[in-house]
Structure 1
């Protein structure tokens, strides 16, 4: 990257209009997240034509995706936060070492997941919640996704580090192209080549390979602030501890997501395969608004980290206020629109199954009620991660799916059955507010007195 472009990017982060900077960083991230969610919905849409059991298999394998994300997210999120602060402090050489080291670590972790996942595919899908009627579909879907695990883990690092240096558009292109290719290949592989569920899995694996090639290109072609090189491999214990301390929040969030998915799948499957399919379809639909909130938060995070590293706390707080307000307003509007359309949305994935239609729509409506709270908590979580507040990021990460969701879903399911299962995530989202408010107050006090 030229020195002129480098200087312009730093100037934008330091002195640019706050709404302009955050929107400049957020829009590409939101678009990439939306494409990712749309291709996830596309998978479910085409597979739904294969029947309820095949749709249930997609729900089961959502937990497998989270296991693969786990293999790279800890180092990716920690590295992204650390790199944005290092660039803000103009320590680019150290940032290069962070990128090169965590890239290799993520690839190795993904390879381990691939090896053991392929070796133990059947017990793996059973553990994730597959019942006999959908087990073979789950195995077929898992096979090619596991082959792509090293690339998926590495993509997380490349994506986070591009965002951390302000290259949000390149990050968007990498994720977006992969998602579009997946949407194109899905109907071809599933129906034209008659590969069924395995075809959807194969399309996903190919799309991850394409994303990997696009995301790594700026580093190979030297079109980025950071440089990826084997010679830069290696970090001090102190630097690695810094990465892990922030990344541990992502690690535990991923662990809690996996555990909660397994718990949810097994409880839903104990009622019926239709309930399992309904919950899975609703989760994928709600990924659409959540991806917008997460993409917006990912745009705010490097701005927060940069200004924290530069010691500009006043600008950091103004950035948070703008981001939090925007997230709450946007999530409220999305929640109203999606709740009113819940039956029509879930109906896209239902092939003559009234039980799935009823409870899938209920899941969506309940989560929409808690969406504004979720939007605000996302921004607070990003603030904690960006500023190195490892404890705060950790608590918020485990709160939604760990501290609240797992303990409440059992009594809700026991006393209220399917209605309780449909309500569990919304209740957990609202309870997470009790963690976020005091954390924000402490950070606000620190920034005022620093």
Structure 2
């Protein structure tokens, strides 16, 4: 466990971020492995059928991930305050919500999966593959949610290394199972989804065993599972706004996917490729966001308010520099990035992907500001402002996607995400200044 209330802010933030970054790289690696193995062995249609599911996965799993992140903020604040009993209560109530939500979401998503794909106007040549992949992913949702919860809870205590160790081995297992299910058992895209779920199940098992052996706050003992109404309300107040925030953003992504589906399989394939490069660009942004959230929560709980602004400013600088650097690399080596996922991509797919790289790459610096400021505000325990920012993302992404497709084709759709980032930042930045001004007025910071 790492106490983020001591030491130079940027130093402890980067130390905390490094294992997160490595872990996310391995997680991304097995997501890439799914995409590359499917694309290289099953072809462009299979690749597009998996890629077209991204917005749906974001809608369902994003809700659960937002919930577990919100629940972990309370653990961080109580850890910073030195409240051992409070940490234990938070862990139990968070675990209850995670299990409950995972089963409810799994049932609802499996029942409504085919109708949702049809409502989204998924091309007929892709719909069966998409349904097969999502059936595996949603059928094993409990493992995904529990992995996110245990990882978030452990990180809340300042330990970003343990989730990394679980991910490294899980990534290896995932790649091996990909080859086995797809090449040996001929299970197609369903096999790719099943490999991912089984790898995550291993991660959960590892983290549960570790928690019981090493973390006193999380050990199961007689009477630990007593739920209290006031604790349920406290955790719901932060957890569910963050969950809905993620789903609100996902609705915009689904709208974008519906528009893409109308542009044909080349546009879907190009977007599938581009979304993978987006994930690579976001790695440091997401993980520095997680770090600043934990850093903020711990220091807020410890009432060390003077450290908050310093950590925020330095983290913003690091993320913006990364965003500009990656954008240059992506645009210069665009063909090489696109060629990772398809053996023989058509020229039209490559051209469409390049359009995306230009439009989105030039705006990555805005995205980096979004991740850090939103996470900082969440670390303060405020779920309303990020949710409001999520609504702004939804409106901008959906509006620009629909209008952009009519007037500019795929280029208009590619501009939807930068528009969403701008809409979100337009809410987050003024709110951030309001929080800072309030702290200064109360004499909490100079």
- Residue matched to 1:15: 6
Relative to structure 1, is the Cα distance of residues 127 and 207 closer, same or farther in structure 2, using a 3 angstrom cutoff?
Answer: farther
Q: Structure 2: any 5+ residue segments left out of the alignment?
A: none
Which residue does 1:72 correspond to in 2?
A: 64
> Measured at CA, do residues 149 and 448 of structure 1 come closer, stay the same or move farther in structure 2, by a change above 3 Å?
same
- Cα distance in 2 for partners of 1:225, 1:183 equals 34
- The answer to whether structure 1 residue 384 and structure 2 residue 384 are counterparts is no
How far did residue 113 of structure 1 move?
Answer: 2.6
User: Aligned partners of 1:323 and 1:180: how far apart in 2?
Assistant: 31
**Aligned match of 2:439 in 432, 437, 447?**
447
Instruction: Identify the residue that residue 143 of structure 2 maps to in structure 1.
Output: 151
1:76-116 alpha-carbon deviations (Å, 9 max, x no partner): 12211111111111112121111112212212221223234
Change in 2 beyond 3 A, CA 1:405/1:119? closer
Answering whether residue 353 of structure 2 is matched by residue 360 of structure 1, we say yes
> In structure 2, what is the Cα distance between the partners aligned to 1:373 and 1:339?
17
Deviation of 1:120 after TM superposition, in Å, equals 4.4
Q: Give the structure 2 partner of residue 27 of structure 1.
A: 18
Tell whether the 8 Å contact from 2:386 to 2:428 is kept in structure 1 after alignment.
no
Q: Is the 8 A contact 1:98 1:235 kept in 2?
A: no
User: How far off its partner does 1:122 sit?
Assistant: 2.5
Once the two structures are TM-superposed, the CA of residue 230 in structure 1 deviates from its matched residue by 7.3
The structure 1 residue matched to 2:392, chosen from 379, 399, 411, is 399
The reply to whether residue 431 of structure 1 matches residue 423 of structure 2 is yes
Distance 1:128 1:284, change over 3 A: farther
1:244 paired to 2:242: no
Greater alpha carbon shift after TM alignment, 364-373 vs 341-350? 341-350
Give 2:338's aligned residue: 346
1:168 counterpart SS class: coil
Deviation at 1:234, TM superposition (A): 4.4
Aligned mates of 1:179, 1:397 — CA distance in 2: 31
Q: Deviations over 1:161-214 (max 9, x none)?
A: 111001110122223332332123222321233222122112111111111112
Match of 2:53 in 1: 61
Root mean square deviation of aligned Cα: 2.1
Aligned to 2:89: 97
Q: Tell me the TM-score normalized by structure 1.
A: 0.92
1:285 aligns to 2:274 (yes or no): no
1:30: how far off? 1.2
Change (3 A) 1:240 1:108: closer
Deviation at 1:299, TM superposition (A): 1.5
Deviations 1:308-343 (A, max 9, x none): 111111112111111111111111111211122222
Q: Does the 8 A contact of 1:71 with 1:109 survive in 2?
A: no
| Conservation of the 8 A alpha-carbon contact between 1:71 and 1:106 | no
- For structure 1, which runs of at least 5 residues remain unmatched after alignment? 1-5
State the SS of the aligned residue for 1:15: coil
Q: 1:192 aligns with which of 174, 178, 184?
A: 184
Map of 1:188-337 to 2, 5 A cutoff? 188-223=180-215, 225-228=217-220, 231-337=223-329
Match in the other structure for 1:106: 98
Q: Look up the SS of the partner of 1:194 in the other structure.
A: coil
Q: 1:328 to 1:34 in 2, by over 3 A?
A: same
How many pairs are equivalent? Answer: 440
Aligned to 1:135: 127
| Aligned counterparts of 2:406 and 2:160: Cα–Cα separation in 1 | 45
**Per-residue Cα deviation, 1:105-146 (whole angstroms, up to 9, x for no partner):** 212221223234344442243345532111111122122212
CA contact (8 A) 1:101 1:232 kept: no
| CA distance, structure 1, for counterparts of residue 11 and residue 362 of structure 2 | 30
> Residues 255-290 of structure 1: CA distance to partner in whole angstroms, max 9, x if unpaired?
124312321221111111111121122112211121
Q: Using the alignment, how far apart are the partners of 1:219 and 1:198 within structure 2?
A: 32
Q: Provide the rounded CA distance (Å) in 2 between the counterparts of 1:399 and 1:426.
A: 12
- The alpha carbon displacement at 1:229 in A equals 5.5
CA separation of 1:445 and 1:60: change in aligned 2, threshold 3 A = same
